[in-house]
């Protein structure tokens, strides 16, 4: 394993089911937490993924990193990017994040680095107002929309001990191989019509 690449824990590890503890500004500014930020960034990029929460690397603290790089969007057709409202997101560090959700709920396939090899349809809000501490321990607020809002919601679930499979549409779980084979260039509406899947209880 390359230096700075952390092991991503998988579903079933108890750390993924515990609410993470808040982090103080003093901790954030400390050497260990600054090193963790860098290691998490490298781990997320190596995976590759668009977000990573500290519980996913075995640490029950309220820290998530997010980055949706342009090269990750290159393989998607323009109409799929538009449907998802997906645009590049620069690297972000979120400590102790809180969100206020607004806008319609939309459904798309969603995956997780801690549930490797699978994806399922999950409903998320289109907009999220976020308040958190940044990598310097300073207050930060921003608005996330579209796919960015989905990423934020997914990572905050991790900090609360929740996985996307807890709220997926029943019947929509698929391997990544079959997602790419059958559904990668199909609108979400057509996917739902063809799967005729229901909402999980």
Q: Which residues are designated catalytic? A: 155
Residue 158: name the closest of 84, 92, 63, 41 by CA.
63
Pairwise CA distance, residues 105 & 46, whole Å: 31
Contacts of 200 (CB under 8 A, 6+ apart): 166, 167, 168, 169, 170
Residue owning tokens 């997101």: 89
Map residue 89 onto helix, strand or coil. Answer: strand
**Are 62 and 96 contacting, i.e. CB atoms less than 8 angstroms apart?**
yes
H runs (alpha helix) in 13-112: 25-29, 31-46, 70-73, 78-84
**Are 15 and 60 contacting, i.e. CB atoms less than 8 angstroms apart?**
yes
| CA atoms 101, 151, 197, 160: torsion sign | negative
Pairwise CA distance, residues 129 & 145, whole Å: 9
Contacts of 13 (CB under 8 A, 6+ apart): 58, 114
């Amino acid at each position: 394993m390359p230096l700075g690449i952390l092991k991503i824990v998988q579903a079933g590890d108890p750390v993924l089911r515990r609410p993470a503890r808040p982090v103080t500004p003093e901790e954030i500014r400390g050497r260990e937490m600054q090193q963790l930020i860098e290691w998490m960034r490298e781990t997320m990029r190596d995976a590759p993924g668009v977000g990573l929460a500290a519980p996913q690397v075995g640490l029950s603290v309220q820290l998530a990193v997010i980055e949706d790089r342009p090269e990750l969007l290159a393989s998607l057709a323009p109409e799929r990017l538009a449907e998802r409202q997906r645009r590049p997101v620069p690297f972000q560090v979120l400590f102790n994040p809180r969100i206020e959700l607004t806008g319609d709920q939309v459904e798309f396939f969603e995956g997780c680095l801690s549930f490797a090899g699978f994806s399922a349809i999950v409903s998320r809000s289109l907009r999220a107002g976020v308040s958190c501490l940044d990598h310097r321990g300073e207050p930060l607020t921003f608005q996330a929309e579209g796919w960015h809002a989905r990423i934020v919601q997914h990572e905050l679930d991790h900090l609360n001990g929740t996985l996307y499979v807890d709220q997926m549409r029943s019947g929509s779980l698929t391997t990544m191989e079959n997602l790419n084979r059958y559904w990668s260039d199909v609108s979400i509406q057509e996917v739902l019509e063809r799967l005729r899947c229901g909402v999980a209880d």
